[in-house]
Chain A
Amino acid sequence: MTFLDYAPAPESRAVLNLRSDYGLFIDGEWRAGNGTPFQTISPATEEHIATIATASETDVDAAVAAARRAHTKVWSRMSGSDRGKYLFRIARLVQERARELAVAESLDNGKPIKESRDVDVPLVAAWFFYYAGWADKLDHAGLGANPASLGVAAQVIPWNFPLLMLAWKIAPALAAGNTVVLKPAETTPLTALLFAEIVQQADLPPGVVNIITGAGDTGAALVAHPDVDKVAFTGSTAVGRAIAKQVAGTPKKLTLELGGKAANIVFDDAPIDQAVEGIVNGIFFNQGHVCCAGSRLLVQESIHDEVVDRLKDRLSTLRLGDPLDKNTDIGAINSREQLERIRELSDIGVQEGAERWQADCAIPENGFWYAPTIFTNVSTSHRIARDEIFGPVLSVLTFRTPAEAIAKANNTPYGLSAGIWSDKGSRILAVADKLRAGVVWANTFNRFDPASPFGGYKESGYGREGGRHGLAAYLAPQGTRKAVAPPAGRPTDSGSLENATRPKRQGSPAAIKGAAK
């Protein structure tokens, strides 16, 4: 045992009180799903955790109908201050059950407990606390007096930050007076189901929050449901495209938070120690399962060797293993499917001529794992410099001038995030101006806050989550969403945008399948 070895320090699972089977949470109560149930497993051990219901189209109908009733009869009529109090309750309940939620998240997702405990769950509580305070202040959201809620929000979230993405979706929707039907990702349904228990403990009126589980078909049915007013999706760009096509021609409002291939730009005057930590955080946080991950390192040519050497030294100290161990830095890859994709793209990197280096760490026998990986000699045309890998794989490119760095950073159809490392303030501001990305971190990376808007340019999607902008995504100015000849059997509290032409026909149903991310 060297001084860098640690004895195992696993977080206790005794705090969990899981059921063997979970149903759907619709209209304030648990009910069986009509689809074929599926298993959720721990990606670190492949052991079974629980059996999860699959919502069929009938179940989706029931959930949307419950949300519609709750919106019409209760939630949209409730005072903002009361809606806010419910959200404050939820924030407090999340804080009270924080340890349990963190353990469940690490168990089901595979992320290190220190991340779920110190990042995910505290941010979940912060998100509800932040938006709780907005509920009775909607007049100040930037849409004029008395903005209206949209109605029923269909929300489909990915597996990389299961509970945090739930909070990003549900907190602003409820504060603005909408009701929601949320579908967590197939591989990570557990914390959303625990959240349903919190909703019950908070005594939220039935139907305001509905949680339905299932695979891509369930998500597709939810998004396509004609009685949905708002669609919010976080996941892959391919699925985002399919949803945008599905929603075309309807009055549904749409927010998409999709993929990324962020450039992390390191200038030669950067504080190197901090930059190395920032690069590691940028791409190895959450095993690189981060849409805004700094997956392309753009380092100024003169310091390339020094930065890469230091990175390799630092990665050699990272501990890969049991997500529930408090000393673990790198957890498990979320699924076999994702591991295959990472392996495939990484191998293509080698085939295309880039040089692969992997940290020398022991890989556990069971479960899905991928050692931290760095590619050097990468050119902009390589797949590993263009495609989102969504894993612990960093591609290193070089530049000589700021103009070249900017050109390379923007040379992607994505535009979610970027990083800049330099000690020169004027250069940081000038480069930040030129980057086509929705979030720019300067001398830091992967920071999130409920007060701070997050979202992409170009094919990283549209709309913002977080801050006042994230609230506005669930509101419409007074009078702009009036009842216009709703489809048969539909209550009349929402409808087309004012002046909007009635669609000639419904958008052709698109297959919205595949794993969300």
Chain B
Amino acid sequence: MTRLAVPKTYKLYIGGKFPRSESGRVYEIVSAKGAFLANAAQASRKDARDAVVAARAAVSGWSGQTSYNRGQVLYRIAELLEGRRAQFIAEIVDAEGVTTAVATTQVDTAIDRWVWYAGWADKYAQVAGNGNPVAGPYFNISVPEPTGVVAIIAPQDSSLLGLVSAVAPALVAGNTVVVVASEKLPLSAISLSEVLATSDVPGGVVNILTGSPAEIAPWLASHADVNALDLVGAGDLEWIDLQISAADTLKRVLQPENGPDAAAPSLGRITAFTETKTVWHTKGLI
């Protein structure tokens, strides 16, 4: 006798909790073959604002951790993801209609990306900062610091790898994130939030919204408590309007990227969401 499966309810991930959309809305997610997979929460403007509040509250704790600690937490995500490879591979095969081999490559690449970025946490400041030989009796040093709350429109043609490629670098420096997942392929993003929730990532550091990026993105782009906007997956939206809206509060903005190399791993993705602080101190006479 075959066992009746127990399907998962996919919800949002805000402030370390899994709420439904306050709007009560869901939308149907179907497989590549058109079969029903799940009802995903369709996040509203209010959900986006709640996510920004959670992200803001998490900034001081996450950025205040030592770099070594942040590196370990990011590495821990890779460890837990490794243990759930099979689940993610199956989910991607269903959702994207790709072969197991292709799905495996996507999951393995995503895991390795967490590992790569984890290693940067206690090094990027050495590469991006420096001591400055000023012409006077002053100690002078420049160090990169996190920008704050980063809103991300994840790549839309990828279940897991695109999201990870955009979220991981923003976390390295100590930023917190509100990310809008792929509209058509949101299920792996929510499954990833289960990994994040059990990986020592403090609640609110990553907040994941599912639904319509076209509906949610304008509210994030104009939100005065968002410091930076990564439009990597916004190529099909009216993204120029988003960038114009972001200029009202002088947000740091990354423009859309296309194709399989979107959000390719780079130091530049880490430093894009950092601010260089230069501290001068007088040297006394001795």
Interface residues of A (CB under 8 A from B): 126, 142, 237, 240-241, 244-245, 248-249, 251, 256, 258, 413, 415, 428, 432, 435, 437-444, 447, 449, 451-455, 457-459, 461-462, 464, 467-469, 477, 497, 499-501, 503-505, 507-508
Instruction: Report chain A residues within 8 Å CB of B253.
Output: 248
Identify which of A449, A501, A505 contacts B134 (C-beta below 8 A): A449
Instruction: Report chain A residues within 8 Å CB of B258.
Output: 499, 501
Contact B247 A500 (CB under 8 A): no
Contact A469 B276 (CB under 8 A): yes
Instruction: Report chain B residues within 8 Å CB of A251.
Output: 255
B258-286: which residues lie under 8 A (CB-CB) from chain A? 258-259, 261-262, 264, 268, 275-282
Instruction: Report chain A residues within 8 Å CB of B239.
Output: 249, 501, 504
Q: What are 20 pairs between A and B in contact, CB < 8 Å? A: A241-B248, A244-B246, A245-B244, A428-B281, A438-B276, A438-B277, A439-B277, A442-B281, A444-B280, A449-B134, A449-B135, A451-B132, A452-B132, A452-B142, A453-B278, A458-B250, A462-B275, A497-B255, A499-B261, A501-B235
B129-141 near A? 1/0 per residue, CB < 8 Å: 0101111101010
Smallest CB gap from B235: residue in A: A501
Contact A500 B279 (CB under 8 A): no
Instruction: Report chain B residues within 8 Å CB of A464.
Output: 276
Contact B133 A249 (CB under 8 A): no
**5 tightest Cβ-Cβ pairs between the two chains A and B:** A249-B240, A244-B247, A248-B243, A449-B134, A499-B257
Is B256 part of the binding interface, using a Cβ–Cβ cutoff of 8 Å? yes
Interface contacts beyond A258-B250, A440-B277: sample of 6 additional A-B pairs, CB < 8 Å, sorted by A = A249-B244, A256-B250, A451-B132, A467-B130, A467-B132, A499-B257
Query: Provided the pairs A468-B130, A469-B142, A503-B240 are in contact, do residues A440 and B250 lie with their beta carbons within 8 angstroms?
Result: no
Contact B250 A462 (CB under 8 A): yes
What's the least CB distance linking A510 to chain B, in Å? 8
Contact A142 B277 (CB under 8 A): no
Instruction: Report chain A residues within 8 Å CB of B28.
Output: none
CA distance A505 to B142 in the complex (A): 38
What's the least CB distance linking B45 to chain A, in Å? 22
Smallest CB gap from B268: residue in A: A477
Is B252 part of the binding interface, using a Cβ–Cβ cutoff of 8 Å? yes
CA distance A244 to B257 in the complex (A): 20
Instruction: Report chain B residues within 8 Å CB of A413.
Output: 249
What's the least CB distance linking B250 to chain A, in Å? 5
Contact B227 A458 (CB under 8 A): yes
Contact B280 A439 (CB under 8 A): yes
Instruction: Report chain A residues within 8 Å CB of B246.
Output: 244, 248
Instruction: Report chain A residues within 8 Å CB of B244.
Output: 245, 248-249, 507-508
CA distance A240 to B253 in the complex (A): 15
Identify which of B127, B147, B235, B282 contacts A443 (C-beta below 8 A): B282
CA distance A447 to B250 in the complex (A): 26
Is B200 part of the binding interface, using a Cβ–Cβ cutoff of 8 Å? no
Is B128 part of the binding interface, using a Cβ–Cβ cutoff of 8 Å? yes
Instruction: Report chain B residues within 8 Å CB of A142.
Output: 127-128
Is B238 part of the binding interface, using a Cβ–Cβ cutoff of 8 Å? yes
What's the least CB distance linking B98 to chain A, in Å? 22
Instruction: Report chain A residues within 8 Å CB of B130.
Output: 467-468
Contact A442 B282 (CB under 8 A): yes
CA distance A500 to B253 in the complex (A): 13
Contact A444 B255 (CB under 8 A): no
In terms of DSSP, what is the predominant structure of the interface of chain B? mixed
What's the least CB distance linking A132 to chain B, in Å? 15
CA distance A440 to B276 in the complex (A): 11
Instruction: Report chain A residues within 8 Å CB of B282.
Output: 442-444
Smallest CB gap from A445: residue in B: B280
Contact B132 A447 (CB under 8 A): no
Contact A444 B138 (CB under 8 A): yes
What's the least CB distance linking A45 to chain B, in Å? 35
What's the least CB distance linking B265 to chain A, in Å? 13
Instruction: Report chain A residues within 8 Å CB of B240.
Output: 248-249, 503-505, 507
CA distance A435 to B143 in the complex (A): 13
Instruction: Report chain A residues within 8 Å CB of B235.
Output: 501
Instruction: Report chain B residues within 8 Å CB of A241.
Output: 247-248, 250
Contact A441 B250 (CB under 8 A): no
Instruction: Report chain A residues within 8 Å CB of B264.
Output: 499
Instruction: Report chain A residues within 8 Å CB of B276.
Output: 438, 453, 455, 464, 469
Contact A500 B127 (CB under 8 A): no
CA distance A256 to B133 in the complex (A): 25
Smallest CB gap from A443: residue in B: B282
Query: Provided the pairs A142-B128, A497-B255 are in contact, do residues A449 and B136 lie with their beta carbons within 8 angstroms?
Result: yes
Smallest CB gap from B231: residue in A: A501
Smallest CB gap from A442: residue in B: B281
What's the least CB distance linking B278 to chain A, in Å? 5
Smallest CB gap from B133: residue in A: A451
Contact B134 A451 (CB under 8 A): yes
Instruction: Report chain B residues within 8 Å CB of A451.
Output: 132-135, 140
What's the least CB distance linking A227 to chain B, in Å? 19
Instruction: Report chain A residues within 8 Å CB of B257.
Output: 499-501
Instruction: Report chain B residues within 8 Å CB of A248.
Output: 240, 243-244, 246-247, 253
Contact A459 B132 (CB under 8 A): no
Most central of A251, A457, A464 by chain B CB within 10 Å: A457
CA distance A442 to B277 in the complex (A): 13
Instruction: Report chain A residues within 8 Å CB of B134.
Output: 447, 449, 451-452
B102-139 near A? 1/0 per residue, CB < 8 Å: 00000000000000000000000001101011111010
Contact B142 A467 (CB under 8 A): yes
Instruction: Report chain B residues within 8 Å CB of A505.
Output: 240
CA distance A388 to B136 in the complex (A): 29
Contact B138 A459 (CB under 8 A): no
B159-177 near A? 1/0 per residue, CB < 8 Å: 0000000000000000000
Identify which of A126, A245, A444, A477 contacts B135 (C-beta below 8 A): A126
CA distance A477 to B264 in the complex (A): 14
Contact A249 B243 (CB under 8 A): yes
CA distance A459 to B262 in the complex (A): 28
Query: Provided the pairs A428-B281, A449-B134 are in contact, do residues A462 and B262 lie with their beta carbons within 8 angstroms?
Result: no
Contact A457 B275 (CB under 8 A): yes
Smallest CB gap from B275: residue in A: A457
Query: Provided the pairs A469-B142, A503-B240, A504-B240 are in contact, do residues A454 and B278 lie with their beta carbons within 8 angstroms?
Result: yes
What's the least CB distance linking A444 to chain B, in Å? 5
CA distance A126 to B213 in the complex (A): 49
Instruction: Report chain B residues within 8 Å CB of A438.
Output: 275-278
What's the least CB distance linking A417 to chain B, in Å? 9
CA distance A124 to B199 in the complex (A): 52
Contact A501 B256 (CB under 8 A): yes
Identify which of A439, A501, A503 contacts B278 (C-beta below 8 A): A439
Contact A500 B280 (CB under 8 A): no
CA distance A442 to B279 in the complex (A): 7
Instruction: Report chain B residues within 8 Å CB of A455.
Output: 276
CA distance A454 to B253 in the complex (A): 20
Query: Provided the pairs A249-B240, A453-B132, A507-B240 are in contact, do residues A500 and B277 lie with their beta carbons within 8 angstroms?
Result: no
Smallest CB gap from B238: residue in A: A504
